[in-house]
Amino acid sequence: MHLQVRLPVACVDDVETAAGMTLDGAALLLKRPKPAREVAKREGSVLLLAEDHPINRRVLLHQLGIVGFHVDTADDSQKALELFEHRTYGLVLTDLNMPVMDGFELARAIRRSEAEACGPPTPIIA
């Protein structure tokens, strides 16, 4: 199995870096101002995070917030699926080992939901 991702190239002058976060002159942490949620919805940058471990959820939420993403969280796959079916997300991040259904089952349920709604596939990272 292979994954190929095409990412846009940004000009370093267009990206704000966190103060003091450098290694040999290269920025370790890049961030952008968090847009209003409505703007994020339009640009497809609202994320869904399915993570049952509270500390992992908190750390990921913090990290994604630093780089300017709005994130909805669910502490199990069933709650994540319910959120997914009622909102639009640009990306789903899921833990593989969760109660109710694991991340693989969640991904299959999301794909079924998208097929029923004739919607485009949402990227899922597990």
In a domain, 25, yes or no: no
Judge whether 62 and 94 are in contact, CB under 8 Å: no
Q: Three-state DSSP class for 115? A: helix
In a domain, 4, yes or no: no
CATH number at residue 99: 3.40.50.2300
Residue span of the structural domain in which 71 resides = 36-125
In a domain, 79, yes or no: yes
E strands, 18-115, are: 22-23, 26-27, 30-31, 46-50, 70-74, 91-94
Number of domains in the chain: 1
Judge whether 11 and 35 are in contact, CB under 8 Å: no
Question: What is the residue-level pLDDT of the chain in tens, covering all 126 positions?
Answer: 666 777 666 565 555 555 544 444 454 455 678 889 999 999 888 999 999 999 999 999 999 988 889 999 999 999 999 999 999 999 999 999 988 899 999 999 999 999 999 989 999 998
In a domain, 7, yes or no: no
> 91: burial class by Cβ within 10 Å (0-12, 13-18, 19+)?
middle
